[in-house]
């Protein structure tokens, strides 16, 4: 019962892929061996069929090349107007992607997949336009010739002797949902060519002599057929996988391509791609930067960068390792990642040098057991130079922004040579002093010390100079015959040779050590930068803080001006409202940023999308979903696009993304908490007011009906009593409603304080006047120290607090018992207290009292919703003060509000 | 008969309140005319030439303050405004626009009647005449001609500003005055931004005239609006 089963991870990946595909538009490629085989024709025929099926088919762009039969097929199809771009005086007609996205047809025809867009277009390449159309869910029909496939670039170059510059990544071809091979035997194609059906006659003649040679056509046709077969194979495999047919290929196939800073790198990558495709395996392109390689000139390093980017385009994972020893690093990496196939170039060292110095390949072969090693033939010597001269990525125009050279260190080096001379001079002086007193060998040692010193401090050049000078001077001054370079005793030749070797070995060692130290220091700095940022991000309490932290650290690390944009609820990115930092980037292009946000892909300067913009835009992601965009304006693109820097930036972005996500989760949790709280409050409000509103209403309705329905039996005294009942209850209700409204207003935070300077005495006076009726049978003693300062408050609100406190005191204390109101200035605060001689506050409830809907005694006939004290607290708190309740030692409760009073009172002009 | 009963026009959009005002005012021998909107109210006020106008500030068609300004354009008739709670600024605006007094809803009829009486008394006896009189409330006696103030027969010394302040309040006794109105009359227009001057002087005045300044009998604070000299 050993049913072959798919690995669950694979199954999941498949489901995800199918899901992604279902949303995407479908891509159909009409694939041919060469121009003129009838791709456009076939495409238009297919389009007409779809049209006949009533599908919304439009023509985005079709090149008819003036062919009449093709043009005839265009009739009756909707054609999207092209975008006209004025480029250096010429008007170029380009496919209008925005119009297409706006029009949103079911199917769109866009010819020439490999086309390069005019400068200033959104994407440099048409296949990128098409990818965007697909992502928008639009089906696309397009056409492609085999020679434009990226991985076949070398082969086609070899066959046709022509280098094709317009290429399409293989992934586009592989991800196509359908590939229709448009095949035409070479003879027929040539016939069509001669008949002028492909090009105009004179062009045709030229073409037949060059690209369209029969041999070429046969080879290209074979390539096209093979490519299509490969696809069919892959589909077959997919099918088998889908149907759980036992796999023939290994599941964990992993391929590693090792590249170096030479012309072979590009070929290795393409070969690796082909091998990976045929093996259906994941592949990794690895570059080991040894200390020597780290010292390469900038253009060589840029070349590597470019090859790594090409590899990424072809679907590889790229890794840059920094290690002193190449083969060791490769083997370690291969083991870590379970690599079972390695593609390397043939060793470049030959003969004795290979024997003596070894080669990476040899070490790999002898150490990497269980790993198959593929060697890619290196070109012949002459050919190699030719390649280097003509084709290599290393010679292409530099990456934008990578032009700046690192300033040369000639001055420092110059100084090193001077030092070499000085040291030799010093050694000579010392030697001269010792000469005759000690053995000559010890004089040699003095020079050796000098050479070692120079080697350790100034590197190879100066140390070689020092050793040569030392040997020379030593020979002239200390070896007979004196003052001559001739060496009488040939044994000193050994001394000279040894000195030279020591100088070179030590300086080499030192240089390597220093380079490694530099690399280590760089790494440590990066790690430190990352650590510093993550530490700050971890404690950031707001998006604003996160942005400030990120912008600051990005500036420190990449010397770039930055801005981080977040989307509003509608999904539109907006510029941050807060004041920008000195390191902030002003004037980021929101439309580019929006594109990045929507597509969750980087864009801008130095990328393949909208390279015309000044800044680079990166999506900030949380779990692969874009949650914001970083716009970064680098001073030097190298600082962003060097592999190690790019990794660092990625880590930065991940950290920022996580910090923002963490914050949003926290906010969400908080708002959920608040909602629950609000819900709870609403419930208690409803239960409280339903009781407290109904009770007075019953009295009012009952008493009023007694008055209304009276047929003359009610005595005047009873009528008065009923009227009073109505009046009292209505007043109670009015108070209740007022309290609820006040609380709502305070809760909503819409209360605006009208703070002014008031005498405390007047506030208390107003309160007592307003409560006259309430306090009718109470003695209220007020004590204010003389010369008590003014308070800066909203008097109406503070009066409300005192009214609530006094009403409470009246409610909860025995009739006739005395109440006290007093105030005092304590430091920078004003304390106003209301005290009573009642039963006091039950223990432990001092704080609970101020909660909404809390009533100390529920059975109390004197009802209130329990909002009074909550309102007091809210009012005092908007004033920046505190309110607390406690029991006096002598009995009774005391409520004290403490109001900040640290502003200096206004000056008064003295009278007269 | 018609002339002997004071005429009151009520501008109020809420029918139950109109009914309550109509019924209770009629029992006290006022002739009541009603209007639902500001425009209608202005017409009523123009046609009926009332002795007093009761105006709700929350009208559906226009701002009550505009109604006051419009009426003040041609008449000095007393205006009492009715306003919602916790809207001090609206009351101040209405008073500054020329309203004589205000009442906060909900209010009792007794209160309304007291305000109407004060307003009518003021209207029938222009303020200038009080200049020559001796003003007496309870224990407080102010001889306006000789500028002598006494409480319980004891002469009280007041500074010029305190005295001026007291005179302004007495002149409008029973009527609410906004801070701005008092500041303007006592100190002049340039002191409008210094309401604490007024509060401090008021507090000094209370210290001198009231037996218990925290439970004032004469100099009442209208919270958030202004002051009123209480009579009767």
Q: For residue range B153-174, what is the model confidence (pLDDT) as tens digits?
A: 899 999 999 999 999 998 888 8
Pick the more confident residue, A407 or A773.
A773
Whether the bond between B19 and the residue before it is cis, its omega within 30 degrees of 0, is no
Chain A residues within 8 A of B214 when measuring between CB atoms: 761, 764-765, 768, 782, 784, 821
Least confident segment among A5-19, A469-483, B4-18, B57-71: A5-19
CATH architecture entry for A751-900: 2-Layer Sandwich (3.30)
Identify the pLDDT of residue B1. 41
CB–CB of B199 and A782 under 8 A?
no
CATH fold, domain A254-395, is: Rossmann fold (3.40.50)
How large is the average pLDDT for residues A21-35?
84
CB–CB of A765 and B224 under 8 A?
no
Query: Is the CB of B215 inside 8 Å of chain A's CB atoms?
Result: yes
For CATH 3.30.450.40, the residue range(s) in chain A are 540-740
How large is the average pLDDT for residues A598-620?
83
Query: Is the CB of B197 inside 8 Å of chain A's CB atoms?
Result: yes
pLDDT tens digits, residue range A180-219?
Answer: 888 888 888 888 877 777 666 666 667 676 777 787 888 8
Nearest-CA residue of chain B relative to A764? Answer: B214
Chain B residues within 8 A of A796 when measuring between CB atoms: 86, 88, 223-224
Please check the confidence at residue A805 and state whether its pLDDT lies above 50. Answer: yes
Average pLDDT, chain A: 80
Please check the confidence at residue B39 and state whether its pLDDT lies above 90. Answer: yes
Least confident segment among A404-408, A570-574, A578-582: A404-408
**Assigned CATH for B7-124:** 3.40.50.2300
Pick the more confident residue, B39 or A223.
B39
Least confident segment among A321-330, A797-806, B119-128: B119-128
Chain A residues within 8 A of B195 when measuring between CB atoms: 756-757
Identify the pLDDT of residue A199. 66
Pick the more confident residue, A902 or A567.
A567
Interstrand relation of A372-376 and B7-11 (parallel, antiparallel or unpaired): unpaired
Least confident segment among A444-453, A571-580, A696-705, A797-806: A571-580
Please check the confidence at residue A398 and state whether its pLDDT lies above 60. Answer: no
Identify the pLDDT of residue A397. 43
Residue B64, phi then psi, degrees to nearest 5: -55, -35
Identify the pLDDT of residue A899. 92
**Using alpha carbons only, what angle is made at residue A660 by residues A659 and A666, rounded to the nearest 5 degrees?**
90
Distance (Å, whole) CA B31 – CA B4: 10
Nearest-CA residue of chain A relative to B105? Answer: A734
Average pLDDT, chain B: 87
Please check the confidence at residue B3 and state whether its pLDDT lies above 60. Answer: no
Q: How confident is the model at residue A895 (pLDDT cuts 50, 70, 90)?
A: very high
Chain B residues within 8 A of A768 when measuring between CB atoms: 214-215
Pick the more confident residue, A317 or A235.
A317
Least confident segment among A392-396, A399-403, A478-482, B7-11: A399-403
Least confident segment among A758-762, A853-857, B95-99, B226-230: A853-857
For CATH 3.40.50.620, the residue range(s) in chain A are 254-395
Query: Is the CB of A742 inside 8 Å of chain B's CB atoms?
Result: yes
Least confident segment among A268-277, A700-709, B74-83: A268-277
Identify the pLDDT of residue B81. 93
Nearest to B203 among A738, A754, A761 (CB): A761
Query: Is the CB of B86 inside 8 Å of chain A's CB atoms?
Result: yes
Nearest-CA residue of chain B relative to A792? Answer: B196
Burial annotation A751-772 (CB, 10 A radius, 16+ → b, else e): beeeebbbbbbbbbbbbbbbbe
Please check the confidence at residue B230 and state whether its pLDDT lies above 50. Answer: yes
Pick the more confident residue, B25 or A7.
B25
> Which of A708-717, A797-806, B78-87 has the highest mean predicted lDDT (pLDDT)?
A797-806
Whether the bond between B108 and the residue before it is cis, its omega within 30 degrees of 0, is no
Distance (Å, whole) CA A601 – CA A630: 11
Measure in Å the smallest separation between the Cα of A737 and chain B Cα atoms. Answer: 11
Q: Is A494 exposed, middle or buried (0-12, 13-18, 19+ CB in 10 A)?
A: exposed
Query: Is the CB of B230 inside 8 Å of chain A's CB atoms?
Result: no
Nearest-CA residue of chain B relative to A760? Answer: B214
Q: Where are the domains of chain B?
A: 7-124, 127-229
Identify the pLDDT of residue A201. 62
pLDDT tens digits, residue range A435-464?
Answer: 888 887 788 888 888 888 887 888 778 888
**DSSP state, B28?**
T
Nearest-CA residue of chain A relative to B224? Answer: A796
Please check the confidence at residue A266 and state whether its pLDDT lies above 90. Answer: no
Nearest-CA residue of chain B relative to A793? Answer: B224
CATH architecture entry for B127-229: Orthogonal Bundle (1.10)
Paired tokens of A733: 């209700």
Q: Which of A349, A297, A351 is nearest to A327 (CA)?
A: A349
CATH architecture entry for A540-740: 2-Layer Sandwich (3.30)
CB–CB of B199 and A758 under 8 A?
yes
Please check the confidence at residue B15 and state whether its pLDDT lies above 50. Answer: yes
Which helix (H) or strand (E) is B171 found in, with range? helix B160-171
Measure in Å the smallest separation between the Cα of A584 and chain B Cα atoms. Answer: 42
Please check the confidence at residue A406 and state whether its pLDDT lies above 60. Answer: no
Chain B residues within 8 A of A764 when measuring between CB atoms: 214
Please check the confidence at residue A401 and state whether its pLDDT lies above 60. Answer: no
CB–CB of B220 and A769 under 8 A?
yes
Q: Which of A480, A509, A477, A474 is nearest to A495 (CA)?
A: A474
Please check the confidence at residue A390 and state whether its pLDDT lies above 50. Answer: no
Q: Is A577 exposed, middle or buried (0-12, 13-18, 19+ CB in 10 A)?
A: exposed
How large is the average pLDDT for residues A361-372?
81
How large is the average pLDDT for residues A851-862?
57
Distance (Å, whole) CA A717 – CA A735: 27
**DSSP state, A820?**
E
User: Percent of chain A scored above 70 by pLDDT?
Assistant: 85
- Note whether A653 and A418 are within 8 A (CB): no
- Cβ neighbours of residue A889 closer than 8 Å, sequence gap 6 or more: none
Chain B residues within 8 A of A906 when measuring between CB atoms: 194, 196
How large is the average pLDDT for residues A386-411?
45
Query: Is the CB of B160 inside 8 Å of chain A's CB atoms?
Result: yes
- Cβ neighbours of residue A809 closer than 8 Å, sequence gap 6 or more: A819, A834, A835, A836, A838, A893
Chain A residues within 8 A of B109 when measuring between CB atoms: none
Query: Is the CB of B137 inside 8 Å of chain A's CB atoms?
Result: no
Identify the pLDDT of residue A801. 92
Chain A residues within 8 A of B197 when measuring between CB atoms: 908
Nearest-CA residue of chain B relative to A789? Answer: B200
Identify the pLDDT of residue A754. 85
How large is the average pLDDT for residues B209-214?
88
Distance (Å, whole) CA A906 – CA A887: 36
CB–CB of A742 and B199 under 8 A?
no
Please check the confidence at residue B132 and state whether its pLDDT lies above 70. Answer: no
Please check the confidence at residue A352 and state whether its pLDDT lies above 60. Answer: yes
Q: Which of A28, A336, A325 is nearest to A175 (CA)?
A: A28
CATH architecture entry for A21-242: 3-Layer(aba) Sandwich (3.40)
A638 to each of A122, A247, A402, A585, A641, how far by Cα in Å?
23, 44, 5, 19, 5
């Amino acid at each position: 019962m050993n049913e072959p089963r798919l690995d669950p991870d694979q199954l999941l990946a498949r489901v995800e892929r199918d899901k992604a595909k279902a949303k995407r538009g479908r891509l159909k490629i009409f694939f041919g061996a060469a121009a003129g085989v009838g791709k456009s024709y076939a495409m238009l025929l297919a389009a007409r069929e779809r049209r006949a099926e009533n599908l919304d088919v439009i023509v985005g762009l079709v090149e008819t090349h003036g062919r009449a039969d093709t043009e005839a097929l265009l009739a009756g199809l909707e054609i999207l107007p092209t975008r006209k771009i004025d480029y250096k005086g010429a008007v170029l007609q380009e496919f209008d992607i925005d119009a297409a996205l706006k029009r949103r047809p079911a199917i769109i025809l866009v010819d020439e997949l490999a086309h390069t867009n005019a400068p200033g277009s959104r994407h440099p390449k048409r296949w990128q336009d098409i990818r965007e159309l697909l992502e928008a869910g639009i089906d696309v029909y397009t056409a492609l010739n085999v020679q434009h496939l990226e991985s076949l670039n070398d082969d086609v170059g070899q066959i046709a002797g022509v280098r094709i510059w317009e290429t399409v990544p293989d992934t586009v071809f592989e991800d196509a949902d359908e590939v229709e091979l448009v095949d035409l035997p070479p003879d027929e194609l040539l016939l069509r060519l001669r008949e002028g059906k492909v090009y105009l006659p004179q062009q045709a003649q030229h073409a037949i002599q060059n690209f369209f040679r029969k041999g070429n056509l046969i080879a290209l046709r074979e390539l096209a057929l093979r490519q299509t077969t490969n696809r069919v194979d892959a589909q077959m495999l997919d099918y088998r996988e889908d149907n759980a047919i036992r796999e023939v290929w290994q599941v964990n196939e992993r391929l590693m391509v090792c590249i170096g800073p030479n012309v072979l790198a590009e070929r290795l990558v393409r070969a690796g791609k082909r091998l990976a495709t045929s093996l259906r395996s994941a592949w990794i392109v690895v570059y080991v930067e040894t200390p020597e390689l780290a010292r390469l000139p900038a253009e060589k390093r840029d070349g590597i960068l470019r090859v790594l980017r090409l590899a990424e385009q072809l679907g590889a994972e790229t890794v840059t390792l920094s290690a002193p020893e190449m083969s060791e690093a490769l083997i370690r990496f291969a083991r870590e990642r379970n690599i079972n196939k390695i593609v390397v170039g043939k060793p470049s060292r030959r003969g004795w040098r290979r024997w003596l110095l070894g080669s990476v390949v040899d070490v790999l072969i002898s150490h990497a057991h269980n790993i198959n090693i593929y060697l890619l033939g290196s070109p012949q010597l002459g050919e190699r130079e030719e390649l280097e001269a003509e084709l290599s990525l290393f010679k292409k125009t530099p990456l934008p922004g990578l032009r700046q050279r690192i300033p040369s260190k000639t001055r420092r080096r110059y100084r090193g040579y001077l030092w070499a001379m000085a040291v030799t001079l010093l050694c000579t002086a010392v030697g001269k002093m010792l000469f005759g007193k000690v053995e000559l060998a010890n004089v040699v040692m003095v020079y050796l010390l000098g050479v070692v010193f120079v080697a350790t401090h100034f590197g190879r050049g100066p140390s070689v100079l020092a050793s040569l000078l030392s040997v020379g001077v030593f020979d002239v001054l200390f070896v007979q015959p004196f003052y001559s370079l001739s060496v009488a005793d040939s044994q000193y030749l050994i001394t000279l040779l040894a000195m030279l070797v020591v100088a070179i070995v030590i300086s080499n060692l030192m240089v390597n050590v220093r380079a490694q130290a530099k690399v280590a220091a760089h790494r440590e700095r990066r790690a430190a930068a990352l650590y510093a940022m993550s530490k700050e991000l971890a404690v950031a309490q707001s998006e604003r803080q996160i942005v400030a932290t990120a912008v600051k650290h990005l500036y420190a690390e990449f010397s770039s001006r930055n801005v981080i944009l977040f989307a509003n609820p509608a999904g539109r990115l907006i510029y941050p409202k807060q004041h920008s930092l000195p390191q902030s980037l002003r004037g980021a292009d929101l439309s580019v940023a929006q594109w990045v946000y929507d597509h969750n892909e980087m864009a801008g300067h130095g990328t393949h999308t909208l390279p015309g913009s000044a800044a680079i835009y990166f999506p900030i992601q949380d779990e692969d979903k874009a949650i914001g965009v970083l716009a970064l304006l680098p001073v030097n693109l190298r600082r962003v696009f060097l592999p190690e820097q790019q990794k660092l930036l990625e880590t930065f972005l991940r950290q920022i993304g996580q910090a923002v996500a963490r914050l949003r989760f926290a906010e969400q949790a908080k708002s959920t908490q608040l909602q629950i709280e609000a819900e709870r409050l609403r419930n208690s409000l409803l239960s409280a007011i339903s009781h407290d509103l109904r009770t007075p209403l019953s009295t009012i309705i009952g008493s009023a009906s007694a008055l209304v329905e009276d047929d003359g039996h009610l005595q005047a005294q009873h009528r008065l009593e009923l009227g009073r009942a109505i009046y009292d209850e209505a007043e109670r209700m009015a108070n209740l409603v007022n309290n609820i409204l006040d609380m709502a207003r305070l809760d909503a935070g819409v209360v605006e304080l009208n703070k002014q300077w008031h005498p405390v005495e007047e506030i208390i006076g107003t309160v007592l006047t307003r409560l006259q009726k309430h306090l009718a049978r109470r003695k209220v003693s007020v004590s204010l120290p003389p010369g008590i300062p003014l308070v800066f408050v909203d008097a109406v609100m503070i009066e409300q607090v005192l009214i609530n406190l006094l009403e409470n005191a009246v409610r909860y204390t025995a009739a006739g018992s005395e109440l006290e109101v007093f105030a005092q200035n304590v430091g920078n605060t004003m304390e106003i207290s209301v005290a009573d001689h009642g039963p006091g506050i039950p223990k432990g409830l001092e704080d609970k009292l101020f909660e909404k809907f809390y009533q100390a005694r529920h059975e109390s006939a004197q009802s209130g919703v329990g909002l009074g004290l909550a309102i007091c607290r809210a009012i005092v708190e908007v004033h920046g003060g505190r309110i607390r309740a406690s029991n006096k030692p002598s009995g009774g409760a005391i409520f004290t509000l403490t109001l900040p009073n640290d502003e200096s009172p206004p000056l008064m002009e003295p009278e007269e | 008969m018609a002339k002997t009963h004071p005429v009151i026009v009520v501008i109020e959009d809420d029918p139950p309140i109109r009914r309550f005002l109509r019924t209770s005012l009629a029992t006290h021998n006022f002739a009541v005319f009603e209007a639902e909107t500001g425009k209608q109210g202005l017409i009523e006020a123009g046609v009926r030439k009332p002795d007093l106008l009761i105006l709700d500030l929350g009208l559906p068609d226009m701002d009550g303050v505009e109604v006051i300004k419009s009426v003040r354009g041609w008449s000095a008739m007393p205006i009492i405004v009715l306003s919602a709670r916790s809207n001090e600024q609206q009351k101040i605006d209405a008073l500054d626009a020329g309203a004589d007094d205000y009442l906060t809803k909900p209010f009792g009829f007794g209160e309304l009647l007291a305000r109407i009486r004060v307003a009518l008394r003021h209207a029938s006896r222009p303020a200038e005449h009080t200049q020559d009189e001796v003003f007496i409330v309870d224990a407080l006696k102010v001889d306006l001609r000789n500028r002598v103030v006494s409480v319980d027969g004891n002469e009280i010394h007041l500074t010029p500003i305190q005295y001026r302040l007291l005179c302004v309040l007495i002149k409008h006794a029973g009527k609410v005055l906004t801070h701005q109105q008092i500041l303007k009359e006592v100190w002049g227009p340039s002191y409008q931004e210094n309401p604490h001057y007024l509060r401090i002087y008021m507090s000094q005045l209370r210290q001198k005239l009231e037996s218990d300044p925290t439970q004032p009998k004469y100099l009442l604070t209208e919270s958030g609006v202004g002051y009123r000299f209480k009579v009767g």
